[in-house]
Amino acid sequence: MALARAAGRAGASAGLALLWLLVCAPGDAGCRLLSVADLFDRVIRHSGRIHSLSTALYAELEKRFPPRDNELGKPARKCHTSGMLTPNGKEYAQKIPREELTHLILKLLQAWKEPLSHFNQHIEHHQELPDDSLSKAKQISNMVHELKTGVEKVTEKMQSMGIISNSLNGMASSEATGLSISNEANMMSDSDFIHCFRRDSNKVQSYLKILKCRIMPENSC
């Protein structure tokens, strides 16, 4: 049974990876592989949807669970990804080598996979939250997994075209494992947790846009 479940998950991952590469559903007439520009557009749109969902969920959590009087004015908990060195602003991000910027995007996504899964399980016990909020939390967790798969496909495409080197292989998962299970993520309030994720999801989207522009300067962005 366990082997069957594992095989099912592996098959689902392979199917998801294939869909990231195709401009249509597998088997459709005229189906073709996406260009690197199309792949970038797809992951950027996906990251934008994640950021919009997290913004809406954060607003709902703030409304449902406003800070108590003794919490007002207190600084928010430090995000579990605060120890990661990330460039602030477009000017600094543009100076980072392409490989490092790609690596940073993958590290951020990897660092949130497990905390989001735990958060999704935890938030299901909030009877005060409407089904729509619970649905947003589940969507965010699933979509981050999908986005990481998509960025990995973009990375493979860039490597095959010689746009970036192959030095990234295996780096993101191994370096971000410790971050993904940190105590900081588990100890934060729900609204602080989503606030931190919302901040990082905005970084991911910005870095993807900057990376696309650096690889395809003809877009004049």
pLDDT digit string (tens) for the chain, length 221 residues: 433 333 344 444 444 544 555 445 555 555 667 788 889 999 999 999 999 999 999 999 888 877 654 454 555 557 889 888 898 888 888 889 999 999 999 999 999 999 999 998 888 887 778 899 999 999 999 999 999 999 998 999 899 989 888 876 555 444 444 444 455 556 678 888 999 999 999 999 999 999 999 888 776 56
Rounded Cα distance, 185 and 147, in Å: 20
Task: Return the pLDDT at 80.
Answer: 87
Burial 55-92 (b: 16+ CB within 10 A, else e): ebbbebbeeeeeeeeeeeeeeebebbbeebebbeeeee
Task: Return the pLDDT at 188.
Answer: 78
Task: Return the pLDDT at 136.
Answer: 94
What is the dihedral sign for C-alpha 90, 95, 96, 102? positive
Task: Return the pLDDT at 154.
Answer: 92
Listed residue (202, 208, 176) closest to 50, CA to CA: 202
Prediction pTM value: 0.80
